[in-house]
Amino acid sequence: MNSDFDPRFTPLPISYFEQKYELSRPTIWRYRRAGLPSIGVGDKIFIRESDFVAFLTKMDGKTVSAVSNKGAKG
């Protein structure tokens, strides 16, 4: 058994985050569009909890819109 195992770095299904953090699927989709790293395996999407927590820390109160700002002129 590997004593270095850390579950925070294990990719988990989106349903885990919906339940634990009481988020809707569209909210998670907006987070992914805003830069939340995710892993696609077939038609399933997985996220590492460490990436999720880091993303929320980085956002720190910023709102995430449904429309990406990529390519927007400012």
| pLDDT tens digits, 2-40 | 567 777 889 999 999 999 999 999 999 999 999 999 999
Whether 64 is covered by a domain: the verdict is: no
Residues spanned by the domain of 43: 8-59
Whether 71 is covered by a domain: the verdict is: no
Instruction: Give CA–CA dist 36/53, Å, rounded.
Output: 10
Model confidence, pTM: 0.74
C-alpha dist (Å) from residue 7 to 10, 58, 61:
5, 21, 26
Whether 45 is covered by a domain: the verdict is: yes
Whether 68 is covered by a domain: the verdict is: no
Q: How many other C-beta atoms are found inside a 10 Å radius of the C-beta of residue 44? A: 11
Whether 25 is covered by a domain: the verdict is: yes
Whether 40 is covered by a domain: the verdict is: yes
Question: Which 3 state secondary structure label does DSSP give 67?
Answer: coil
Per-residue pLDDT tens for 62-73?
Answer: 766 654 444 444
